[in-house]
Chains A and B, each alone.
Chain A
């Protein structure tokens, strides 16, 4: 467990805690007698603040959906406690349900109904009806680019259209907190970009708090204010995307010198912000916190010392590297059983649509 929780600027802006999860655990009962149950979520704690986009990043079977189900009262935790706007999810589930919107991982719209009917019925379930509600539904459908297909049966929708309808349905009662379980799954790049814009604008204009799960590293990186990385039911790191990446010791600067040049290691190590230097043939790999500013300084310093620099690159750390560092396996390899530590996360992946 890497302790990155609550560092950086968070204490400077005291914000309302909207979601508070304390040591949540979920053990699914065994499907066959005599076998052991599945530990889906194994002691997860985190807080989501008002007006932030909080991402749950993790591979298949990590426990993301299970966590959402517990926070939205659909599953009772085996142990642990969670509150939504201060209300305990186990003690007062009915009040909690009023507070939140939820978009499921798989499509739950009624296929035999039109998009608009789905929205109005959902509104009715929250006790909302009338011209204002219809107008809001139309507005949401328009924002989701579904205005022209609003009165067609959902079974004639494409996958992406269904996904966007789910989002519209989840927003119909104007929740201040919304849970999105893999909201951009199956959206094309344009659709994803549009969705990101939409979520950000809601956050900015209405102060919406968003809890979303995702498989996509770039989505976590670009959309989320803070990320919790979850693997095998445990949160292994929490922080802003930059904090997580900085935890790797920052940027990597690679300095390639002409064969036969003197060793620049002592020189590089003396520079501010440098944490380590390793040599791979004629390339020196420098871990540093300030990659860009180190470029001119290192090149200049080396040249003055008579070292012939032939190339220099700076790479920013990626979340993939963070993941590799935290779990010992690369994010993309997850599910490919190639070692004793991997494979166990992939085998639990529920089959799509399996009930």
Chain B
């Protein structure tokens, strides 16, 4: 029963291992942000001299420096950016008739979607961890701000960090996959994705603390899935005791988003896959347009 889904994952894996280009392109903007924006925009430098570091630290969710605060935000941004590419494969498969061939076999429609979600969702974690590694490395470069984490990170902290990153990846992979199933052409797909990218990033606390925002923005930022994930990740890396309970609340909220996006994607995918796609795949797109 799992073999058909595994075959699809194997196909995606083989394709990816031969041309892992999108990992590079997905990494581009987060890395640029880290070495340019993160270095230049050091909020800590705006404080008058003599202010104790704890003041800054408490405004930055316990991060020892602005860059450390910002770097964790970029981890989340990296996986969201990488997830933006997850829907493209579906569109090409549709246009090339490969999806039709898959649909003519007895594999269940749900497996087609879920195998994509599992593979793409996992892949999306790679850039996230590469960004962590890169930010940690920067700390060892003279005159460059880097990510420094608090001592005493426990296994639970590390696990929380990974789970938050994974749930965030799955949520956005599902969202963008559903756009891939719904879109007929790569242009319209990237149209939607580019429109969404900046608002999603800017309405989160990935780049600056919620406390400096106007109240109306704070509400939006509070429920943004990126904020939820970033909160958990910051607590795990810089956390002090007492944060744990809040972390679970954030994780739960993030999980709710993930469920919502997965359900939406399942709906759109099964709608798109139901009538299989006739000659040229035209009816496939029509099924979505109606």
* Chain A residues within 8 Å of B, Cβ to Cβ: 28-29, 31, 65-66, 69, 72-76, 94, 97-98, 102, 104-113, 117, 120-129, 350, 354-355
Contacts and interface: CB of A to CB of B under 8 A. Distances in A.
Between A75, A102, A111, A355, the greatest number of chain B beta carbons within 10 A of the residue's beta carbon is seen for A355
A146 to B, nearest CB: 18
Nearest to B285: A355
Contact of B286 (A29, A111, A120): A29
Given A66-B279, A73-B276, A355-B94, A121 B105 contact: no
Interface in B1-15: 1, 3-4, 6-8, 10-11, 14-15
B104 A102 contact: yes
B277 interface: yes
Contacts of A120: 7
A104 B100 contact: yes
B19 A112 contact: yes
24 contacts: A28-B286, A29-B286, A65-B279, A66-B279, A73-B104, A74-B278, A97-B104, A97-B106, A104-B100, A105-B279, A108-B97, A108-B100, A108-B101, A112-B15, A112-B18, A113-B14, A117-B11, A122-B105, A124-B6, A125-B8, A125-B107, A354-B280, A355-B280, A355-B282
A123 to B, nearest CB: 8
A74 B14 contact: no
Contact of B103 (A65, A74, A126, A355): A74
Contacts of A31: 282, 286
A209 B281 CA distance: 26
Contacts of B103: 74
Interface in B82-103: 94-98, 100-103
Interface string B252-290: 000000000000000000000001111111110010001
B92 to A, nearest CB: 10
Interface of B: 1, 3-4, 6-8, 10-11, 14-15, 18-19, 94-98, 100-108, 184, 275-283, 286, 290
Contacts of A110: 11, 15, 98
A321 to B, nearest CB: 30
Given A28-B283, A108-B98, A112-B15, A124 B3 contact: yes
Given A110-B98, A113-B14, A127-B3, A75 B105 contact: no
Contacts of A65: 278-279
A241 B60 CA distance: 83
Q: Which residue among A94, A97, A108 has the maximum number of chain B CB atoms within 10 Å of its CB?
A: A108
A105 B107 CA distance: 21
Contact of B95 (A28, A66, A75, A355): A355
A121 to B, nearest CB: 5
A307 to B, nearest CB: 58
A26 to B, nearest CB: 8
Nearest to B2: A127
A109 B100 CA distance: 11
A62 B71 CA distance: 61
A125 B100 contact: no
Given A75-B276, A113-B15, A126 B281 contact: no
B241 to A, nearest CB: 50
**Most A Cβ at <10 Å: residue of B102, B104, B106:** B104
Nearest to A127: B3
Nearest to B1: A127
A190 to B, nearest CB: 27
A125 B280 contact: no
Contacts of A108: 96-98, 100-101
A74 B97 CA distance: 12
B290 A112 contact: no
A98 B94 CA distance: 22
Contacts of A74: 100, 103-104, 275-278
B98 to A, nearest CB: 5
B278 A66 contact: yes
A126 B283 contact: no
Contacts of A29: 283, 286, 290
B104 A94 contact: no
A112 B14 contact: yes
B106 A121 contact: no
B181 to A, nearest CB: 15
Contacts of B280: 350, 354-355
B3 A129 contact: yes
Contacts of A94: 106, 108
Interface centre among A28, A74, A111, A121 (most CB of B within 10 A): A74
A117 B97 contact: no
A126 B105 contact: yes
A327 B42 CA distance: 80
Q: Which 6 A-B pairs have the closest CB atoms?
A: A124-B7, A74-B276, A125-B105, A108-B101, A108-B97, A75-B278
Contact of B275 (A75, A97, A107, A117): A75
Given A112-B14, A112-B19, A113-B15, 8 more contacts: A29-B286, A98-B106, A104-B100, A121-B10, A122-B105, A123-B7, A125-B4, A125-B106
Contacts of A121: 7-8, 10-11
